[in-house]
Amino acid sequence: MNEMGLKSAEEHSEPNLLHTSVVNLNVGGHRFCTTLSTLRKYPDSKLAEWFGAPSKLLRDGQGHYFLDRDGSHFGAVLEFLRSDRIPTENLQQVHKEAVHYNITALSKRLEESPLLFGELVGRKQFLARVPHYKENIEVLTRIARAEAVASRHSSIMICVLRTQEDLGCYDNAISSLDSTTRNKESVVTFGPWNAAPSAKDLLDCIRKDIESQGYTVHIQPHVMEKNFLSRSYNFFYTLTFTWW
């Protein structure tokens, strides 16, 4: 946005916010027109606070009140304030805006939708039962970056232990790996956890959370060396990052 000439509302020559019911907005370059009562619909929201009196919001060169935030999904927020209409698209993005503006009525309604309920409630509660999940995701990405020098791919071994019984077999399972991956330090281990989702569900979460950071990820079962004298364990997977 070039030289918008932002001024505080108090310095602008237009009438004070209290004396007009129509409000023109510029939200990160997106223009909107609404009423003061609409913006103040929920008294605990940031919009109600910002458009109280006196307002200290900046204005752009056309006199529109300026909010320094991406306005791509502000229209859906504004439509809810006008009509209580819940959006049917971009629910996660609109939910993020509802949380930012502290419009609790909208964020709660969105969280009740099947898509966000699964993502924000069910999935979140499941991962809270997986020990050190967040820390392990950070370890995976850190190791992958360290091993990606002058290479298109980097691979990491992960171990998924679904139950306490699986955990009891961990040392034997590690010993059954081939010599290049036997070092425990080179294996990132998840679990066990006390919840219904399967190992596949956990792997989907791992992939999704790493891809959300902008990486390209592929996970496949690790093929172990055939040995008729030892048990074969299906705990291990190869997680491959592709960089370019």
User: Which residue type does 233 have?
Assistant: Y
- Report how far residue 96's alpha carbon sits from residue 166's, in angstroms, rounded to the nearest whole number: 38
Domain segments of the chain as ranges: 7-125, 133-242
Classify strands 216-221 and 236-242 as parallel, antiparallel or unpaired. Answer: antiparallel
The pLDDT assigned to 183 comes to 57
Laid out side by side, the sheet with 187-190 consists of: 187-190, 153-160, 236-242, 216-221
User: Exposed, middle or buried, 6 (CB in 10 Å: 0-12/13-18/19+)?
Assistant: middle
**Of residues 234 and 4, more confidently modeled:** 234
Please identify, in words, the CATH class of the domain defined by 7-125. Answer: alpha beta
Q: Which of 108, 103, 113 is nearest to 38 (CA)?
A: 103
Average pLDDT over residues 205-209: 95
pLDDT in tens, 144-166: 988 887 789 999 999 999 999 99
Query: What's the whole-number average pLDDT of the chain?
Result: 87
Q: Cβ contacts of residue 242 below 8 Å, gap of 6+?
A: 152, 153, 216, 217, 218
Residue 219: which region, alpha, beta or left (left: phi > 0; alpha: psi -120 to 50)?
Answer: beta
pLDDT in tens, 32-85: 999 999 999 999 999 999 998 777 789 999 999 999 999 999 999 999 999 999
- Report how far residue 231's alpha carbon sits from residue 116's, in angstroms, rounded to the nearest whole number: 42
Instruction: Find out whether 59 and 15 touch, Cβ atoms under 8 Å.
Output: no
Average pLDDT over residues 4-14: 50
Please report which helix (H) or strand (E) contains residue 207, including its range: helix 199-211
The pLDDT assigned to 1 comes to 46
Instruction: Find out whether 208 and 219 touch, Cβ atoms under 8 Å.
Output: no
The pLDDT assigned to 180 comes to 56
pLDDT in tens, 92-102: 999 999 999 99
- Is the pLDDT confidence value at 230 over 90? no
- Is the pLDDT confidence value at 9 over 60? no
- Report how far residue 238's alpha carbon sits from residue 154's, in angstroms, rounded to the nearest whole number: 10
